[in-house]
């Protein structure tokens, strides 16, 4: 057999393998979608408020016709997102599974509100079917751009990072906190009266590993300036304000254990390790503020308290930079000690201050959006007890 014939045979064999790969991938996707619904039923759809349940292939939702949006959307973030490469479809459309009809494009157009995904499309990039389903209007709710494009996106990224780091799937229930007194969108040309929620929630359950854990988040429908984990709450607290019972097929013992606690440290990404929550301002003495409050005192003299979680020394400028509570590049408050001022310290700040609780005294400046104090000597840094 000549070389050319051998090449042709191998190419034919390779084509067959490609076709077989496509068949196997399609079969796997179908089975995984079926498993998602089995798993969601196993832990239980939310109950407690009357809704129309629409069961899709990758998500299940409870639609509230009065508010023209879902009270809850349940889905699973799969470890498959690591290899997912399906592109956004942007095929926003009505949900045929909701018999009363859903909101439509005209309800959101020129309203000032984003069509905020409850179950985010990026969670479904491993499946064309699942990704397309995420664009049903039943999966949308009015979110201000300041929330949808910032803190909500940050929360969604956090949960995907958790899945990628732990190689475990997450059960997520997302929804609007709905009540009869909510305002409606009033944009011209609307077809439905869509309620504008004041709060959105996510209830999250890791039920796959040996150490099962749960947490929830409550985000107001506005700009959320605090570090993300400050919006963490217990699942029980979300159940209380929504009237819903999540994960109700679990035993009473499991529900009590998973829904009554919120250990935020278990949910930190690798990049967030070593960070801490800002100090509760109510525990600080008069005249001292925490790192979140610093943004409201730009141009003023203040004492800002927090924990030094990262330090950087610049060889080029000779400056030392300290970040309190959150690390670079997500810092919320920083301290700068310039080269010419290091001689005013009896210790080496980059070594002695890492992990230490401090209060920084000085004028708060705005350094590219981050509140900053330039410290000239060690008297401006008060070391405080834990």
d(CA 86, CA 75): 18
- DSSP per position, 45-110: --BSS--EEEE-SSEEEEEETTTTEEEEEEEEE-GGGGT--PPP----B--TT-TT----HHHHTT
Annotation marks residue 117 as catalytic = yes
Strand partners, 173: 74, 203
From 56, 67, 75, 117, active-site residue: 117
d(CA 164, CA 362): 41
What is the helix (H) or strand (E) element at residue 23, kind and residue range?
helix 3-43
Number of residues written out for the chain: 386
d(CA 386, CA 349): 18
d(CA 128, CA 122): 11
Q: Counting Cβ atoms within 10 Å, is residue 285 exposed (0-12), middle (13-18) or buried (19+)? A: exposed
Positions marked active-site: 117
């Amino acid at each position: 057999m000549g070389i050319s014939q051998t090449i042709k045979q191998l190419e034919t064999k390779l084509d067959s393998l490609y076709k077989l790969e496509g068949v196997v991938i399609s079969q796997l996707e179908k089975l995984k979608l079926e498993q998602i619904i089995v798993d969601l039923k196993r832990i239980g759809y939310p109950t407690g408020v009357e809704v129309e349940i629409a069961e899709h292939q990758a998500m299940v939702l409870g639609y509230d016709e009065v508010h023209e949006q879902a009270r809850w959307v349940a889905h699973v973030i799969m470890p498959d997102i690591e290899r997912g490469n399906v592109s956004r479809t942007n095929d926003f459309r009505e949900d045929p599974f909701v018999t009363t009809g859903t909101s439509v494009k005209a309800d959101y157009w020129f309203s000032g509100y984003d069509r905020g995904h409850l179950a985010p499309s990026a969670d479904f990039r491993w499946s064309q079917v699942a990704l397309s389903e995420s664009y049903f209007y039943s999966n949308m709710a009015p979110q201000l751009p300041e929330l949808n494009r910032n803190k909500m996106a940050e929360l969604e990224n956090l949960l995907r990072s958790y899945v990628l780091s732990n190689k475990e799937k997450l059960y997520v229930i997302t929804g609007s906190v709905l009540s009869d007194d909510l305002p409606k969108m009033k944009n011209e040309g609307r077809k439905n009266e869509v309620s504008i929620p004041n709060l959105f929630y996510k209830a999250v359950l890791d039920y796959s590993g040996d150490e099962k854990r749960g947490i929830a988040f409550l985000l107001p429908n506005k700009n959320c300036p605090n570090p993300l984990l400050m919006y963490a709450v217990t699942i029980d607290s979300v159940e209380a304000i929504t009237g819903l019972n999540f994960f109700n097929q679990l035993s009473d013992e499991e529900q009590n254990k998973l829904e009554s606690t919120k250990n935020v440290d278990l949910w930190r990404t690798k990049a967030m390790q070593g960070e801490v929550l800002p100090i509760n301002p109510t525990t600080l003495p008069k005249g001292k503020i925490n790192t979140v409050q610093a943004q409201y005192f730009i141009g003023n003299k203040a004492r800002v308290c927090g924990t030094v979680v990262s330090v950087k020394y610049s060889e080029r400028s000779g400056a030392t930079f300290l970040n309190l509570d959150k690390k670079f590049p997500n810092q919320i408050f920083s301290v700068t000690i310039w080269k010419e001022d290091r001689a005013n310290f009896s210790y080496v700040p980059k070594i002695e201050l890492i992990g230490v609780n401090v209060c920084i005294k000085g004028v708060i400046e705005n350094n590219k959006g981050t509140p900053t104090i330039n410290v000239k000597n060690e008297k401006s840094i008060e070391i405080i007890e834990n």
